[in-house]
Structure 1
């Protein structure tokens, strides 16, 4: 039986040799290779400044600190995201205002965000920022977010953990722009399963020098000097602490991996795009599924390939489908249980599932299928064949069922050309 993991990093001899070189040269923590990764990453995504850190969570935390978030203020955060996007708001004793998503791409719904802004303002609350998340690697409604931020004087911090690379344009005649172009600060993840990886790591990017300088200082204990240089001939033994900073620096060992991952990024992206297209070809006629598609004027990074089950057509639920796939040797995941449905946010803020109805509705339907650059055609075909087998064996009897030959135990049901069903 073919076994297909949910993810496997694409690590080659270039990354291995660079790590060995780092081990041999003796500079293991933040040093010249971390600085080189910052330079190359900023250039690759056309950002003015980049600050390398040990996670995207750290980048988001530093970003909120840089814009001056204060206790008691509010930040708009999509409910359809990982824990980090909202928990960094709580680090400041500030309040995350959770926002519903759009059904077509799971990205933040700007109209719902504005409704929640107006409600918060009517209660005398101050809103400092908005953190859109580009779900699965597809850039959301950046124009809508920008207009909203301008109307209500909000800072924009993009959670671009899934994007490297990803591009957008405002209309068919506009110039393609890189993710984060319109943000005050954009934050990226280099976690093991991301588009490029350093094992653990992240990057905070900005076009504003004051934000970059603040994040750089705060990423290493609030030391006033370029802290890593204090152990070199260029540096000084003397330094001052200007603020109570954090320990968020990226090591040169991790940066050694990241340098070559970044240099391969276009090739890794092409492979992910190919795999997404193969899934679409092999599953496109299964009417019991809703497949992800790149929205107009978007270039998707395909970090995740998230399908939706049409549960009203099936005799089994999402959990049962996942168990069947696991028995077939296929690793899958779910992205995510919406934040407003987690115990902490329910208990702390009184959220009910129906408060963000689209996120709550979509959650039971979604499954993330394996997609990683070294995945081969046989593995994709195995995933698709097993998924088709599971679905075809658990169909409800309905005139709306799809496919040329549908099997429902114990009877054989054949759909004719005019849509009628015959036993």
Structure 2
């Protein structure tokens, strides 16, 4: 029960570090990339379109626009929504900075809405109090892969004529009730960073059912340039094109999309494995009074991008930092998701102060992310469990 911790000179549970997240690449993925490298198109070619089509079909939307990364996807979604200087956009603070940085890129103002204490998603009961005549949109974040309560958010958005841009960077393959995440917001963003549900190395995508948003997304992805005769002001010949908006170079390559296209075929298998690991963790930790395991709402079927435990610090003799460092010493690559966005120095310079979202701050002070990815072996999973039990029991009151 009081086995000597590695941080105190004891033998660590593992000999090598187990990462908190990792890509799962096989020979089929590699061959897909090689095939594109041998083809005529390395960028803006047919594989980009094929990947967009595959993701749109998977989530059930009419349109998809692939871009260089998830942050770029959020940025062009804000641009397509018409968000501009002086507008306000509601967003959760317990997220990666990109969720609100995309608002700042447009000259608009992030308005942070506190989270629900169980799901760690935006608290739908606190949204309306933050809405003003300047509010233009809501960017709800599907924390850890669990869908936000989209019916309630849609009701509020319709009432106040707001646009919903769902940050589903964690949630490709997750469901809200009987529908895939991506189908219910006005625009939904996915990320293909290596630790996400599938990867294209780097990459992002916006899906939508709205044709006007789709046209704008395409423009903002590629410098604001079009060859569409219906959109151009003039026509000097078949070679001619026009820049009609101030866009960006947010293109993604066919090389990346080849990997993404191969990966999406495995997504359901990846999610099944993630859920199995989560079930194993939950069963192992349910009798540890010092830990609260992740909560999943009845309406959600999460793809479990990350597994976040909450430490019941009043039952421990140490801080979160000590638990974190002790687990790292056992070679368990724990992490913390996330530092509340407005804690960052840049946001402090903008006038944001601690105390703004008390639930988010309380949760942040007591959470730790454990390793979770599809290629983890049973030995890996057991190592995590043994390390957590070893450290928690050592520090239990």
Asked if TM exceeds 0.5, the reply is: yes
**Deviations 1:329-384 (CA, angstroms, capped at 9, x unpaired):** 111111001112222223313322x2211001111110010000000111111111
What is aligned with 1:104?
A: 118
For residues 216 and 374 of structure 2, the distance between their equivalents in structure 1, rounded to whole angstroms, comes to 36
**SS at structure 1 position matched to 2:226:** coil
The answer as to 2:167 corresponding to 1:159 is yes
For residues 236 and 301 of structure 1, the distance between their equivalents in structure 2, rounded to whole angstroms, comes to 46
Q: Contact 1:282–1:381 at 8 Å: present in 2 too?
A: no
For residues 236 and 6 of structure 1, the distance between their equivalents in structure 2, rounded to whole angstroms, comes to 51
What is aligned with 2:104?
A: 90
2:138 maps to which of 109, 130, 133: 130
Counterparts of 1:157-236 in structure 2 under 5 Å? 157-169=165-177, 176-225=178-227, 236=238
**Deviations 1:134-158 (CA, angstroms, capped at 9, x unpaired):** 0000001111111111121100000
Any gaps of 5 or more consecutive residues in structure 2? 1-13, 229-236
**SS at structure 2 position matched to 1:204:** strand
**SS at structure 1 position matched to 2:166:** strand
1:242 maps to which of 235, 244, 249: 244
Give me the TM-score of the superposition, normalised by structure 1: 0.86
**Displacement, 1:394?**
1.2
**Deviations 1:100-135 (CA, angstroms, capped at 9, x unpaired):** 000111000122221111xxx3xxx51100000000
What is aligned with 2:374?
A: 373
Counterparts of 1:228-307 in structure 2 under 5 Å? 236-307=238-309
**Alignment coverage as a number of residue pairs:** 375
**SS at structure 2 position matched to 1:349:** coil
**Displacement, 1:236?**
5.0
Q: Contact 1:280–1:291 at 8 Å: present in 2 too?
A: yes
1:11 maps to which of 25, 30, 38: 25
For residues 176 and 22 of structure 2, the distance between their equivalents in structure 1, rounded to whole angstroms, comes to 27
- Between structure 1 and structure 2, the one with the greater Rg is 1
What is aligned with 2:91?
A: 77
For residues 295 and 153 of structure 2, the distance between their equivalents in structure 1, rounded to whole angstroms, comes to 21
**Displacement, 1:319?**
1.2
Q: Contact 2:20–2:371 at 8 Å: present in 1 too?
A: yes
Q: Contact 1:2–1:382 at 8 Å: present in 2 too?
A: no
**SS at structure 2 position matched to 1:76:** strand
For residues 136 and 295 of structure 2, the distance between their equivalents in structure 1, rounded to whole angstroms, comes to 33
RMSD value over aligned CA atoms? 1.3
Give me the TM-score of the superposition, normalised by structure 2: 0.92
2:150 maps to which of 110, 132, 142: 142
Counterparts of 1:295-334 in structure 2 under 5 Å? 295-334=297-336
Q: Which has the higher contact order (CA 8 A, sep 6+)?
A: 2
Q: Contact 2:149–2:299 at 8 Å: present in 1 too?
A: no
For residues 236 and 164 of structure 1, the distance between their equivalents in structure 2, rounded to whole angstroms, comes to 39
Q: Contact 1:2–1:329 at 8 Å: present in 2 too?
A: yes
For residues 276 and 200 of structure 2, the distance between their equivalents in structure 1, rounded to whole angstroms, comes to 23
**SS at structure 2 position matched to 1:156:** strand
